[in-house]
A and B are shown apart, each in its own frame.
Chain A
Amino acid sequence: MYFPSKKKNAVYVSPIKQDIHPIDFSLPTEPMNHKRKNPDPSPDSDEPTTQLSSPFPDEVLERVLSLLNSRKDRNSVSLVCKDWYDAERWSRTHVFIGNCYSVSPEILTRRFPNIRSVTLKGKPRFSDFDLVPPKWGAYVHSWLLVFATKYHFLEELRLKRMTVSDESLKFLALSFPNFKALSLLSCDGFSTDGLASITTHCKNLTELDIQENDIDDKSGKWLSCFPENFMSLEVLNFANLNSDVNFKALERLVSRCKSLKVLKVNENITFKQLHRLLVLAPDLRELGTGSLLQDLTPRQHSELKSAFNNCKNLNILSGFYEVTSIFLPVLYPACTNLTFLNLSYAALRSDELSNLLIHCPLLQRLWVLDSVEDEGLEAVGSNCPLLEELRVFPASDPFEDEILHGVTETGFLAVSYGCKKLHYVLYFCRQMTNAAVATIVQNCPDFTHFRLCIMNPRQPDYQTDEPMDEAFGAVVKTCTKLRRLAVSGLLTDLAFEYIGKYAKNLETLSVAFAGSSDRGMECVLKGCPKLRKLEIRDCPFGNAALLSSFRKYESMRSLWMSGCKVTMDGCRFLAQEMPRLNVEVISECGNDGCQADKLYVYRSVAGPRKDAPPFVLTL
């Protein structure tokens, strides 16, 4: 490990927990270096002392701390005493920044000199649903410029909801000789030309993971830019790119990269091509198929099946764009060790799913489309006792379907009876009842993530016509470990009273089209001590709610409110009272400045944004 020379008078910056705590700012008066707070059990500890140094050398402490990986642990460590703070910051190699505007690259690099791996998240989550205008920000380039000098040995960069340009990608490719892993999830602003820069110049690349980005997909030529002697790739995911790649180049790449563990191809790859790839890479752990759509002769069928059979290490399967029934049996041999099956692009029927799941006894995570309907979910309940996570997405635009397909409370119930270990669910449905949810959480009390989306806004319990308050009441009362909750359906303030009262571990709450008055939001703000992210849209919460516990926002990563009833005056007041928060209103043209239609509040040690576009007003 490379340790640059230490500066003992380094700036004492606040600990970066999962986010920044402005409250924990660098206050030299904080009792950080009292010996009695040092858990070190040295014999000196009972001595009232001014001796502050640790009994063992810094290097040893750093070596020990370098074994710590969890950022929660590291943040706790950094609060113990100054020595531990220093040791931690010198030994940290990975940093996670949940909101790129909460800290500046300068502050970051000053505190952590030895970072090899950075994870950066940018835009508010609702930007995924088009609620944030384009060119809002979250540009990675300014970070790269600083990293180029301070983190010359940067190896990994993982970006989510950031704006990345081709220029940035080229700069990245050329500035970091050791660069190994690039992951872009839900980003925008770049094209496949930028990817070509990466593949051309990053000689040590092990990971290229391009997912669900708003990318200008010009061509698949980037894949052909890997040099002929390049063989270090371990992870390649281009499943969401639409352009054709040169298959021969892909084949050569796969055959050269003996350590390839993850390969997710796009839907233009045919099953014949897939077959050839499987033969070249039988050790894959994760596979994303292309389209499985063409005619299949018996010989091709058995060849493909045999190829899958040879993949003994396959744990994760995804892709399945446009798969037809005939292909599913070829997968059966590969399903024995499957822990994660992502069928969320394949509109399977219930019988098709059922037949497939019989072969997946070890399944822990399953993503499906609601085309499998309740019967399909019953099969899940019957065949997957180890299931921990289930996501059911709508197979078609719910507003367009004249015929109601999809899943109901019945399917969810069936899963809960059969899958006792279920703790993560994302469920899009068209109807739900309070009673069903109550039963579900009785069956599965260990939910950590409960995201229920009844797709018609403000829909009540379809049997009783009552609000869905009791459903979510049951969830928060029963599931004490709940960390993430998304609510839907017709909800009054009562639901939020329950949440505030019972959801003591809740960290993320998503609310849409719910609540009756300010009281709802007030209850949540007063009640949920661990709340970090609150995102609200189209609810009748106004200034009173916003300002009811405004100090709380400093302990949170961010607050988003759009389509609510807050006004600019309310936001200005908040900004005034809480100078360490950035209070931003996205003002779309024509807004007279009275309503604050889109409000984004977040804590920051970096001060107001310097790169805000004209439609973002920082108050």
Chain B
Amino acid sequence: MQGVVVLGGATRSGSISTLSMEDNNLVLSSEDSSSPDESELELGLGLSLGGTACKPQQHYARILTAKDFPSVGSSVSASSSSSSSSSSCSSSLSRANVTSGTKRSADSVAAANGASQVVGWPPIRSYRMNSLVNQAKLPATEEFNSLIGSSKNSNTVVGKGTNNCSDKNNGSAKENGRLRSSLFVKVNMDGTPIGRKVDLSAHRCYETLAQTLEDMFHTSTSTISSIRSSGEEHDKATRSSKMLDGSSDFVLTYEDKDGDWMLVGDVPWGMFINSVRRLKIMRTSEAKGLGNTLRSEERNGRQKTNPI
């Protein structure tokens, strides 16, 4: 099923409007077809629509800035879902498909952030597109944007969930030769081909991190678990993370500076931040035998050596 944001410009009685908004660098154009009397573009947002929305002549409601539709952000985040960009029922209605797929994702967060995207533009291959991250050249004030940027590969509103912690951890300069106000680490999930990046410096506790990751990987039933002892950090999160009770199919692990794989949540947050290199959401079945440390069997080919 495809979540599609239908962004349309309204035209009444067949008039064609072309707006170009220089400062937004985006253009709304609704180009008429051969039957002007039927060219009524629907103004609306919603999920992928069935036949009702498929008016034959509406095929150019392409790009709008979210500034025209201040409600875009919340609605989009609620309605977007992960699917391929192909079978859009409303494709005849709108070309501004804000969709995501295994290839590229036109990010709903982007829409929420004040920009919308045209499918397949700019013409960059999906692999490269997925590698685009706001690199840490941004000054500290850009941290929020950079967090959004880091989740551009996901189709959920990452930013919303991560600010429950009281103050942002402005992170530490983790990299030599470069002052970073953000700390991006890669996150991979078993079974998901494309990794993501998350900015750890935007979190101060495991809970929000877990929330973020759950949103990011769009697990429908909060299947990420494994934060055990830090379960005390209850939050006002709308749903409690299953990270705490180990009841899900997945565990959250991380690789530390020494190359060891550890369960997330065992050490104080600050220590975690200082040693984490990257994250991995593993299937619980694969993480069996995981004590406090896990030697990745792929790294050195040995059996797991740690008894529980």
B253 at the interface (CB under 8 A from A): no
For residue B113, which residues in chain A have a CB less than 8 angstroms away from its CB? 400
A397–B149 contact, CB under 8 A? yes
User: Is B176 among interface residues, defined by CB-CB distance under 8 A?
Assistant: yes
Q: Is the CB of A595 within 8 A of B92?
A: yes
Interface residues of B in 33-63 (CB under 8 A from A): 33-34, 49-51, 53-54, 56-57, 59-60, 62-63
Judge whether B120 and A131 touch: CB under 8 Å.
yes
B188 pairs with A242, CB closer than 8 A? yes
- Indicate if B226 sits at the interface (CB-CB under 8 A): no
B residues within 8 A CB of A132? 86
Cβ-defined contact, B122 with A394, below 8 A: yes
Identify which of B119, B123, B300 gathers the most chain A CB atoms within 10 Å of its CB: B123
Q: Assuming A246-B301, A326-B177, is B119 touching A590 (CB within 8 A)?
A: no
In the complex, B287 has a CB within 8 A of chain A: no
Looking across the interface, which residue of chain A has its beta carbon closest to that of B88? A588
Q: Fill in one digit per residue for B105-147: 1 if any A CB lies within 8 Å of its CB, else 0.
A: 0010010011111111111111111011111011000100100
Question: A30-38, A256-264, A453-461, A576-584: which one contacts chain B?
Answer: A453-461
Q: Does B224 lie at the interface of the complex (its beta carbon under 8 Å from any beta carbon of A)?
A: no
A140→B49 CA distance, assembly (Å): 34
Query: Using Cβ atoms and an 8 Å threshold, which residues of chain B touch A349?
Result: 137
B123 — which chain A residues lie within 8 A by C-beta? 128-129, 453, 486, 510, 512
Question: Do B84 and A134 touch across chains, with their CB atoms under 8 A apart?
Answer: yes
A405: B residues at CB distance < 8 A? 137
Residue of A nearest to B32 (CB): A565
Within residues 164 to 215 of chain A, which ones have a CB less than 8 A from any CB in chain B?
186, 212-215
CB contact list, A263-315 vs B, under 8 A:
267, 270, 293-296
**Bound CA–CA A592/B89 (angstroms):** 11
Query: Quick check: B86 and A186 within 8 Å, CB to CB?
Result: no
Q: Closest CB of chain B to A379's CB: distance in Å?
A: 17
The answer to whether B128 touches A344 (Cβ under 8 A) is yes
Distance from A209 Cβ to chain B, minimum over Cβ atoms (Å): 14
Specify which of B26, B135, B152 lies most central, judged by the most chain A CB atoms within 10 Å of its CB: B135
Tell whether A126 is near chain B: CB-to-CB under 8 Å: yes
Report the Cα distance A115→B175, complex, angstroms.
52
What is the total number of residues of chain A having a CB less than 8 Å from a CB of chain B?
Answer: 84
Of the listed stretches B72-80, B190-198, B203-211, B242-250, chain A binds B190-198
Docked-complex contact A400 and B56, CB < 8 angstroms? no
Given A324-B176, A456-B26, A563-B95, A393-B145 contact (CB < 8 Å): no
B interface: dominant SS: loop
- Indicate if the CB atoms of A590 and B92 lie closer than 8 Å: yes
Quick check: is A371 within 8 A (CB to CB) of the other chain? Answer: yes
Contact with B along A580-598 (1 / 0, CB 8 A): 0000000011111011010
A-contacting residues, B249-308, CB 8 Å: 257, 259, 277, 296, 298-301
Which A358-397 residues have C-beta < 8 A from chain B? 371, 393-397
Quick check: which of B96-104, B161-169, B214-222, B231-239 contacts chain A, the rest being far away? B96-104
A221, B298: Cβ atoms closer than 8 Å:
yes
Tell me, in angstroms, the Cα distance from A265 to B301 when the chains sit together.
Answer: 18
Question: Which chain B positions have C-beta within 8 A of A267?
Answer: 186
* B33→A565 contact, CB < 8 A: yes
Q: Tell whether B172 is near chain A: CB-to-CB under 8 Å.
A: no
With known contacts A588-B86, A588-B91, A595-B33, A457–B121 Cβ distance under 8 A: yes
Question: Is the beta-carbon distance between A563 and B59 smaller than 8 angstroms?
Answer: yes
Contact A242–B121 (Cβ < 8 Å) = no
Q: A212-B127, A345-B131, A399-B116 are in contact. Are A242 and B103 (CB under 8 A)?
A: no
B298–A395 touching, CB < 8 Å: no
Check A55 for interface membership: any CB of B closer than 8 A. no
Q: A130 and B101: CB pair below 8 A?
A: yes
CA–CA, A510 and B123, complex, Å: 10
A130-B103 contact, Cβ under 8 Å, with A324-B177, A325-B176, A597-B59? yes
A334 within 8 Å of B (CB atoms): no
Which of B27, B145, B176 is the one whose CB lies under 8 Å from A457? B27
Do residues B152 and A397 form an inter-chain contact, with CB atoms below 8 A?
yes
Contact status A395-B91, CB under 8 Å: no
A349 to B25, CA, bound (A): 25
A243 to B54, CA, bound (A): 42
In the bound complex, residues from chain A placing their C-beta under 8 Å from that of B145 are 400, 402
Contact of A212 among B115, B120, B125 (CB under 8 A): B125
B148 interfacial by beta-carbon distance below 8 Å: yes
| Contact present for A246 and B298 (CB under 8 Å) | yes
Check A294 against B257 for contact (C-beta < 8 Å).
yes
Distance between A528 CB and nearest chain B CB, rounded to angstroms: 21
Q: Which A residues between 418 and 460 are near B, CB-CB below 8 angstroms? A: 428, 430, 453, 455-459
> How far apart sit A402 and B110, CA to CA, in the bound complex (Å)?
11
Mask for A110-129, Cβ within 8 A of B = 1, else 0? 00000000000000001011
Which of chain A's residues 318-370 have a Cβ closer than 8 Å to chain B? Answer: 321, 324-326, 344-345, 347, 349
Complex Cα–Cα for A132 and B114 (A): 27
Query: Is A540 a contact of B125 with CB atoms below 8 Å?
Result: no
CA distance A296 to B257 in the complex (A): 12
B87 touches A133 (CB 8 A): yes
Q: Does B81 contact A (CB under 8 A)?
A: no
Cα-based distance from A295 to B107 in the complex (angstroms): 33
B104 and A395 contact, CB distance less than 8 A: no
The answer on a CB contact under 8 Å between A395 and B193 is no
Alpha-carbon distance A94/B138, docked complex (angstroms): 50
B12-44 vs A, Cβ < 8 Å mask (1 yes, 0 no):
000000001000011101010110000000000
A130, A344, A563: the one contacting B126 at CB < 8 Å is: A130
Residues of A within 8 A of B128 (CB): 212, 344-345, 393
- B85 contacts chain A at the CB level, 8 A cutoff: yes
**Given that A130-B126, A294-B257, A398-B122 are contacting pairs, would A592 and B27 also be in contact in the complex, using a CB cutoff of 8 Å?**
no
Q: Give the Cβ gap from A290 to chain B, nearest Cβ, in Å.
A: 12
Question: For A293, what are the chain B residues with a Cβ–Cβ distance below 8 Å?
Answer: 175
Asked whether A66 is an interface residue with its Cβ less than 8 Å from the other chain, the reply is no
Q: Which residues of B contact A594 (CB under 8 A)?
A: 56
Q: How far is the CA of A194 from the CA of B92 in the complex (A)?
A: 37
Task: Kindly identify, within residues 518 to 536 of chain A, every residue whose CB is under 8 Å from any CB belonging to chain B.
Answer: none
Q: With the chains together, A73 CA to B287 CA distance in Å?
A: 58
Determine the residue in chain B with the shortest Cβ distance to A344.
Answer: B128
Q: Find out whether the CB atom of B51 lies under 8 angstroms from the CB atom of A325.
A: no
Q: How far is the CB of B82 from chain A (nearest CB, A)?
A: 13
CB <8 Å contact, B122 and A455? yes
A468 CB to nearest chain B CB (Å): 14
> If the complex has contacts A242-B193, A324-B176, A458-B20, are A538 and B122 also in contact, measured as CB distance less than 8 A?
no
Tell me the bound Cα distance from A479 to B277 in angstroms. 49
Known A-B contacts: A133-B86, A186-B125. Give 16 more (CB < 8 A).
A129-B121, A133-B87, A219-B298, A242-B188, A244-B298, A247-B300, A324-B175, A324-B177, A324-B178, A396-B132, A400-B149, A428-B124, A486-B123, A590-B89, A590-B91, A597-B59
The 6 lowest CB-CB distance pairs between A and B, nearest first, are A133-B86, A129-B120, A590-B54, A347-B135, A325-B177, A456-B25
Q: Which of B's residues lie within 8 Å of A, judged by CB?
A: 20, 25-27, 29, 31, 33-34, 49-51, 53-54, 56-57, 59-60, 62-63, 84-93, 95, 101-104, 107, 110, 113-129, 131-135, 137-138, 142, 145, 148-149, 152, 175-178, 186, 188, 191, 193-195, 257, 259, 277, 296, 298-301
Could you list 19 A-B pairs, sorted by A, with CB under 8 Å?
A130-B85, A214-B102, A246-B299, A247-B300, A249-B301, A293-B175, A325-B176, A371-B135, A395-B135, A396-B149, A397-B132, A455-B121, A457-B27, A457-B118, A459-B25, A510-B123, A588-B88, A588-B92, A591-B56
Which A positions have Cβ atoms within 8 angstroms of B? 126, 128-135, 186, 212-221, 224, 240, 242-249, 267, 270, 293-296, 321, 324-326, 344-345, 347, 349, 371, 393-403, 405, 428, 430, 453, 455-459, 486, 510, 512-513, 537-538, 540, 563, 565, 567, 588-592, 594-595, 597, 615
